[in-house]
Amino acid sequence: MWERERFEREVQDLYAEREAPDDAYAALSSGRLAWKGASPEQLAFMRLTYDAQVRRYLDGRRLRFFDTPRDQLDEIESGQLLHRDIIPDCRALLAEARRKLAEDQVRGDADALSIKSFGVGNGYRSASEQLGLWQKYFPRYYNDTRARRLKAKGGEHGQEAADIAAEYISGWLSPPGFGNHVQGRAIDVFARMSTYRLSASSAHIPAWKKSWLHRWLVNNAGRHNFVPYAKEPWHWDHVSAKSVQPSKAPAQASSAAPASGATNAATLAWALAKGERDENKLTDIVFRGRHPELAGRVLTARDRGLVQEWRSIRDDIVRPYLANQAAQGRQQELPQAGLDRPPRLLGGLTREAWTPPGSRRRAALSYRFTDTDALWLARLLVGEAGGRNDADNQAVVWTLFNRYALFTHGVYPTFAQFIRAYSTVLQPVLRSWGAAQRHYRSTEFVRDPSGATYAHRGHPEIPQGQLRRHLELQARPWARLPEGARRLALEAMSGRIASPVGLASEFASTFIYYRQAHNQKPTDEQWRDFTERFARGKKWVWVGDRPSLNQKKNAFFIDARAAALPEGTVRVEPV
């Protein structure tokens, strides 16, 4: 039996409107901001940026909350408050983590021994407190974005510059009234180490990612309904409207969806249990269940309120649920068929500490591949490289390993997330408006049900979407992928394949580029000269001839920032 009432109650709680008095809005207005020592122009820009960020959040992306009533909050520890609904989950999380830390310390685990204690450093944060933080950190964000703002139309303090700054700030800090801290549904953890304290500071991000506590939370917090925020390893959100699970079905249970006059919120839980993972389809299920009067009508630009509601369902219900599924390590899309199912833990991708030219030192990396990484790598090999296990595709795989280890691990917490963003065929929605422009009139093109366009790229006439065959590949289970793709993914992630291209992190079809530029095939000499000039223009270094590789198919390049590193800087260590 489905826990339908519980699920629908959680959904309704998420979307219950909170009427705020006019003075609540006034208390959070940009006119309250101050900037000591700033010029009048800088202060005006600060307020312009604040208003731009609030508009970003209100524009169909976020619900705005004001201070949570005190009777809905309880103390978790050390004076920190959380919403009473999540207190049990948080206490269970902390208790398990502390018990496991003690066990690992007894075993002599060096990382565990480096931690003296840990806890919740911040929980509920009022909107007025958030306003103070926004004001405190704005000068830093102002300096961080200066180079980009100087190139903006209207100058470094114009509206375009404010939009640039608002976008950047949104990656680090929500405006007052938004986010989970103001609802008491997020925690920032701290850890007292042997010689210092790990806290909510961007300067501590490398140390956080190497710590025992962060590693344990990544692997276990999902069981207690907490999910990570990629940019802040200390920040963990509690996921609401996500805890419905189907009870064990009777032997004669029907496989049909729960019967009702219209699709309702419980159908989302049913769809998830039946294996549906496409976020747009799941969002549409909930949205259409709320609005049967639409009868399948496609939303248009005139349906602004409905489009905002659709996006809120996607962002505040569907995406958190899917994130929670991933955090708990549920691998329902990896059936045990064909080759053995990938082990939950494969080899480890490691990178020695290094200092890129003109940048700060980067701490050593140790990342353990998972079965989810293997699944998406196999899908990439099918979509981008024909699914073959050959030398050329081994080189492509190692190029991706190098890029992730050297440059993008700080952006994407998992290798699977990195290649999904990197590969056109794995993107839920095409990131390139040019790619969408070439295909959106085709019957193969599946439009984003929200009606979103590439207006943010200056092309409101082009709808967002993805090709049907790409979406089908993204849903294809492990057993239905070619054996060559599965075998290559497993062997590479188990440390059985050495890099044939050293530290190359880029590849390109320079043979094709030459032919497109000159309308003829290049000779060997012409291709080599073109490839070397292409590399110089990109600030790359061509790896040169490599045995067994056909680089007229894909030429491989080392980013100039890593050119001086020894080839063994990035490795895959066996289990």
Instruction: Convert the pLDDT of each residue in 465-504 to its tens digit.
Output: 898 889 889 888 888 889 899 999 999 999 989 999 999 9
Strand partners, 83: 73
Amino acid at 75: E
Check if the beta carbon of residue 209 is closer than 8 Å to that of residue 195: no
182, 68 contact by CB (below 8 A): yes
Which is nearest to 453 in space by CA: 300, 265, 250? Answer: 300
In the CATH hierarchy, which top-level class contains the domain 70-123+181-238? alpha beta
pLDDT in tens, 194-241: 888 999 888 898 899 899 999 999 888 888 888 877 678 899 988 753
Tens digit of each residue's pLDDT (9 = 90 or more) over 152-206: 999 999 999 999 999 888 878 888 887 788 888 899 999 999 888 999 888 898 8
- Give Cα 89 distance to the centre of its chain: 24
| Domain boundaries, given as residue ranges, for the chain | 4-66+126-170, 70-123+181-238, 265-323, 345-429+464-573
What are the distances in angstroms from CA 110 to CA 196, 210, 353, 369, 570? Answer: 16, 12, 19, 22, 23
**H-assigned helices in 328-423:** 371-385, 391-403, 415-422
Sign of CA dihedral 473, 478, 479, 481: positive
Q: Which residues have a Cβ under 8 Å from the Cβ of 365 and sit 6 or more positions away?
A: 349, 350, 351, 405, 409
Residue 318 to residue 340: CA distance in whole angstroms? 31
Global pTM value = 0.45
Strand ranges, E, within 433-526: 445-447, 453-454, 459-463, 465-467, 506-508
Percent of the chain, pLDDT > 70?
80
